[in-house]
């Protein structure tokens, strides 16, 4: 339940100084003020983000109310005695730059292009961190998720029906693309013999021994939608254990058997990702620039097969995975820092990322495989607790924002905005 710190957030107007000409103040909020300039900039942001969409006529008033709520939370954080140090701001600045694939220097250039000074940007970060810490403290004090809550959430999730699942066993008599008519006829005849014997009660997979080139095995238990329409049509009216007639496809001739068919319960599973990376540690802008250049060259060399990923990781990697070809193993969602995980999740298997910057340095990432696996009991309870904390936590924070908004003095200077 962290307050997002993003480049977009940095384009909000600067917190006003303590003294302003009266006609530049849009609202007084406790010991804070909202300036007309700040209000106008935020309204422009909303319009830019919703270009082409109809916006309410009282948009400035609605935006002002959002700014008032933000100031009320900041005031509450001050009243709690929350403080943020300069090193805290430095770390937040580095994290934001990494999450947006920028160096700190590039980030500062970006915010300056948006009309913000570095001092103003750091003040915004200070304010956002104070509010974030206030919200975290409120959650620590008020949010409760009991064992009963978790069990109830699990019961509800597992009672919901998922898609129908199907497991098929197959014997495939393959037919080469350039096979002659005679070869195709012979393959079809083999498949027909197997189908007839299986329909008469013999075990399908045992019958494949009569066709040496046959491909045999279970196709797995998976949602029906994962099977070819050709297979679904052939097995639609079959009971469990039923065997199809010969099914022809571009690959050859198939004989299929329905192993199991069931309506799945709630899908308490998780997608795991197997990935590897090459990490170059870098802290200063110069080090990060050098690391990006090196990893770009390595990416080109790996793609051109001048070097393998494993060899490149062993030679250039600077973390504990380097000796193992950069292998990170099978990873659960949330296991890596956000910038790394976002880049990894966007990759298709066997595709190399561009250099990715995180607080640890610069990475070259490759996804090697993905799989969906059932959650164990501990993972299910962790999933349910996180889900509850998200929902109930937001309710707690919404109530707190209403509370601090109602408890702070607010004077709107412009009658048109009241």
Distant-in-sequence, close-in-space partners of 143: CB < 8 Å, separation ≥ 6: 389, 392, 393, 396
Query: What local confidence, expressed as pLDDT, does residue 375 receive?
Result: 83
**Strands ordered across the beta sheet of 361-374:** 327-331, 269-280, 361-374, 356-358
Beta bridge partners, 364, equal 278
- Please provide the average confidence, as pLDDT, over all residues in the chain: 84
Distances (CA, A) of 285 to 56, 98, 107, 131, 193: 44, 11, 11, 29, 70
* C-alpha span between 173 and 214 (Å, rounded): 5
Per-residue model confidence as pLDDT tens digits over 183-233? 889 889 999 999 999 898 888 877 876 777 787 777 877 778 778 888 999
pLDDT at 8 over 60: no
Query: What local confidence, expressed as pLDDT, does residue 314 receive?
Result: 95
Query: What local confidence, expressed as pLDDT, does residue 416 receive?
Result: 76
Per-residue model confidence as pLDDT tens digits over 345-397? 878 788 888 888 888 999 999 999 888 888 888 888 888 898 899 889 999 99
- For residues 413 and 130, which has the higher predicted lDDT (pLDDT)? 130
Q: How many residues does the chain have?
A: 418
Q: What backbone torsions phi and psi does residue 281 show, to the nearest 5 degrees?
A: -70, 135
* C-alpha span between 283 and 184 (Å, rounded): 64
**Strands ordered across the beta sheet of 25-29:** 32-35, 25-29, 410-412
Average pLDDT over residues 175-184: 81
Domains of the chain listed by start with CATH number: 7-144+394-417 (1.10.4030.10), 164-263 (3.10.50.40), 269-374 (3.10.50.40)
Cα dihedral: 211, 215, 217, 221 (round 10): -140
* C-alpha span between 134 and 71 (Å, rounded): 13
Strands (E), 134-202: 164-174
Q: How confident is the model at residue 404 (pLDDT cuts 50, 70, 90)?
A: very high
**Nearest one of 318, 324, 327 to 368, comparing CA atoms:** 327
* C-alpha span between 60 and 375 (Å, rounded): 47
**Nearest one of 28, 149, 147 to 395, comparing CA atoms:** 149
* C-alpha span between 302 and 355 (Å, rounded): 14
Per-residue model confidence as pLDDT tens digits over 115-156? 778 888 898 899 999 999 999 999 999 999 999 999 998 888
DSSP 8-class letter at 24: G
What predicted TM-score, i.e. pTM, was given to this entire model?
Answer: 0.55
* C-alpha span between 279 and 317 (Å, rounded): 5
β-pairing, 32-35 with 356-358?
unpaired
Per-residue model confidence as pLDDT tens digits over 75-118? 999 999 999 999 999 888 887 877 666 778 888 888 888 777 88
pLDDT at 19 over 70: no
Query: What local confidence, expressed as pLDDT, does residue 100 receive?
Result: 66
CA 400, distance to chain mean position in Å, is 28
- For residues 208 and 263, which has the higher predicted lDDT (pLDDT)? 208
Quickly list DSSP for 103-121.
Answer: -HHHHHHHHHHTT--HHHH
Choice among 13-27, 108-122, 143-157, 272-286 with the minimum mean pLDDT: 13-27
Q: How confident is the model at residue 158 (pLDDT cuts 50, 70, 90)?
A: confident
Query: What local confidence, expressed as pLDDT, does residue 350 receive?
Result: 84
For 57, counting Cβ atoms within 10 Å of its Cβ (0-12 exposed, 13-18 middle, 19+ buried), the class is: exposed
Per-residue model confidence as pLDDT tens digits over 40-76? 888 887 887 777 778 888 898 999 999 999 999 999 9
Per-residue model confidence as pLDDT tens digits over 301-338? 999 999 999 999 999 999 999 999 999 999 988 889 88
């Amino acid at each position: 339940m962290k307050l997002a710190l993003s480049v977009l957030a940095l384009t909000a107007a600067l917190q006003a100084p303590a003294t302003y000409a009266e006609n530049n103040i849009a609202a007084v909020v406790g010991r804070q003020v909202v300036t007309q300039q700040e209000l106008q900039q935020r309204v422009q942001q909303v319009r830019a983000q919703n270009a082409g969409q109809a916006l309410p006529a009282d948009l400035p008033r609605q935006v002002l109310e959002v700014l008032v709520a933000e100031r009320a939370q900041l005031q509450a954080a001050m009243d709690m005695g929350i403080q943020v140090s300069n090193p805290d701001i430095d770390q937040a600045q580095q994290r934001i730059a990494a999450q947006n694939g920028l160096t700190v220097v590039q980030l500062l250039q970006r915010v300056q292009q948006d009309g913000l000074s570095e001092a103003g940007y750091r003040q915004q970060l200070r304010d956002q961190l104070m509010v974030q810490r206030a919200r975290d403290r409120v959650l620590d004090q008020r949010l409760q998720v009991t064992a009963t809550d978790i069990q109830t959430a699990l019961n509800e999730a597992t009672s919901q029906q998922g898609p129908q699942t199907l497991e098929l066993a197959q014997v495939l008599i393959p037919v080469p693309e350039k096979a002659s008519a005679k070869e195709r006829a012979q393959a079809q005849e083999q498949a027909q013999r197997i189908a007839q014997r299986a329909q008469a009660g013999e075990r399908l997979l045992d019958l494949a021994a009569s066709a040496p080139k046959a491909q045999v095995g279970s196709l797995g238990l998976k949602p029906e939608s994962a099977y070819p329409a050709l297979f679904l049509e052939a097995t639609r009216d079959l009971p469990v254990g039923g065997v199809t007639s010969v099914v022809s496809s571009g690959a050859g001739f198939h004989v299929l058997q329905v192993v199991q068919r069931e309506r799945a319960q709630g899908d308490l599973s998780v997608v795991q990702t197997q990935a590897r990376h090459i990490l170059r540690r870098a802290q200063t802008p110069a080090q990060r620039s050098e690391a990006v250049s090196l990893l770009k060259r390595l990416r080109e060399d790996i793609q051109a097969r001048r070097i393998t990923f494993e060899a490149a990781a062993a030679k250039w990697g600077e973390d504990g995975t380097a000796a193992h070809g950069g292998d990170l193993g099978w990873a659960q969602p949330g296991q890596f820092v956000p910038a790394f995980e976002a880049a990894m999740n966007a990759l298709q298997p066997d595709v190399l990322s561009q250099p990715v910057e995180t607080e640890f340095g610069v990475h070259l990432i490759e996804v090697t495989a993905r799989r969906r696996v059932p959650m164990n009991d501990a993972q299910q309870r962790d999933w349910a607790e996180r889900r509850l904390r998200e929902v109930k936590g937001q309710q707690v924070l919404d109530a707190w924002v209403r509370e601090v908004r109602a408890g702070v003095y607010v004077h709107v200077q412009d009658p048109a905005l009241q």
